[in-house]
Copies of this chain bind each other. A is one copy, B any other.
Amino acid sequence: MKNASHRQAQAHTRIEAVMAEIQSRIASRVYPPGARLPSVRAQAQAMQCSVSTVVEAYGRLSAGGAVVSRPGSGFYVAGPLAPLALSELAPDLDRAIDPLWISRQSLETDVDVLKPGCGWLPPDWLYETGMRRALRTLARTSSTTLAEYAPPLGNPALRQWLARRLAGNGVDVAPEQVMLTESSTHSIDLICRFLLQPGDTVLVDDPCYFNFHALLRAHRVHAVGVPYTPQGPDLDAFASALQEHAPRLYITNAGIHNPTGATLSPIVAHRLLKLADTARLTIIEDDIFADFETTPAPRLAAFDDFSRVIQIGSFSKTISASLRCGYIATRPDWLEGLSDLKIATSFGGGRLATEAILAALSDSGYRRHMESIRVRLATAMDTTLKRLAALGIQPWLRPQAGMFLWCRLPAGGDAATLARTCLKAGIILAPGNAFSQSQRAADYLRFNVAQCADPRIFEVLAQAMAG
Contacts and interface: CB of A to CB of B under 8 A. Distances in A.
Interface in A120-175: 120, 123-124, 126, 128, 131-133, 135-136, 138-140, 142-152
Given A84-B341, A128-B147, A139-B139, 18 more contacts: A34-B197, A68-B246, A76-B246, A81-B280, A107-B150, A109-B148, A109-B151, A123-B146, A128-B143, A133-B139, A182-B346, A185-B346, A193-B218, A211-B343, A217-B344, A322-B351, A322-B352, A353-B353
Contacts of A199: 73
B149 A107 contact: yes
A322 B351 CA distance: 5
B248 A337 contact: no
A152 B104 contact: yes
B152 A344 contact: no
A284 to B, nearest CB: 12
A433 B85 CA distance: 36
A148 B350 CA distance: 19
The number of times this chain is found in the oligomer is 2
Contacts of A136: 135-136, 139
A345 B146 contact: no
Contacts of A424: none
A348 interface: yes
Contacts of A245: 70
A227 interface: no
Contacts of A85: 337, 340
Interface of A: 34, 65, 68-70, 73, 76, 78-81, 83-87, 99-100, 103-104, 107-109, 120, 123-124, 126, 128, 131-133, 135-136, 138-140, 142-152, 182-186, 189, 193-195, 197-199, 201, 211, 214-215, 217-218, 245-246, 248, 278, 280-282, 316, 320-324, 334, 336-337, 339-341, 343-353, 356
Nearest to A244: B71
11 contacts: A34-B248, A79-B248, A79-B280, A86-B341, A87-B337, A135-B139, A149-B321, A185-B347, A214-B340, A214-B343, A324-B346
Contacts of A146: 123, 126, 128, 131-132, 320, 322
A28 to B, nearest CB: 19
Contacts of A182: 182, 324, 346
A248 B123 CA distance: 42
Closest 3 pairs (CB-CB, A-B): A79-B280, A123-B147, A214-B344
Given A84-B194, A340-B87, A123 B143 contact: yes
Given A107-B348, A193-B218, A346-B185, A322 B84 contact: no
A211 B79 contact: no
A78 to B, nearest CB: 6
Contacts of A76: 246
Contact of A345 (B99, B145, B189, B201): B189
Given A84-B194, A195-B84, A345 B103 contact: no
A84 B189 CA distance: 13
Contacts of A323: 350, 352-353
A142 B201 CA distance: 43
A183 B248 contact: no
Contacts of A321: 147-149, 350
Contacts of A340: 85-87, 100, 104, 214
Of A83, A184, A336, most B-chain CB atoms within 10 Å: A83
Contacts of A84: 193-195, 337, 341
A247 to B, nearest CB: 10
